[in-house]
Amino acid sequence: MLSGVISRDVNNMPNEIERKFLVSSDGWRLFGPGTRYRQGYLSTVPERSVRVRVAGDEGFLTIKGKTVNATRAEYEYAIPVSEANELLDHLCERPLIEKTRYRISHRGLVWEVDEFEGENTGLIVAEVELETEDQAVALPDWAGEEVTGDPRYYNASLVANPYRKWAES
């Protein structure tokens, strides 16, 4: 994982445990510049997703398992940025996910705020990675409604059903 908590289940699989929230105000914007992300998916089936990402000047390949509650298996590997860009340009599903990510420390945890662009313009989501699902979390003032269990907010879902189309349906 780029910058998160890696926990392992009883089978020693790396897991991502995260909670996700809509952003309810602009208070998070006070915390400095973000990093531009460009990502796409080679697979978006519910049982697994395979993501290619360019974050700044680094490339990554990530495989994630099915989410159960707030947990899913996650494997992430650095790959040459030139190869990541080739995969994004030629093999990934459309539309690509374009966003700027801001990392914000709040009461001992690092929050990642994603401000989406392109087909998902207008969507701003904050997530926090945890050691356990029942870990206590002090919410920042700008954290709004929790959407952890809503698959519409998964980045892989935003490819098939971009945020801009939600108002149309």
End-to-end CA, the chain: 34
Options 37, 41, 102, 153, the catalytic residue: 41
Residue of 61, 53, 55 lying closest to 77 (CA atoms): 61
Q: What is the residue whose two structure tokens read 């907010």?
A: 153
Alpha-carbon distance values, 141 to 27, 69, 100, 126, 128 (Å): 7, 24, 20, 12, 14
Is 153 a catalytic site residue?
Answer: no
Structure tokens at 97: 């996910």
Active-site positions read: 41
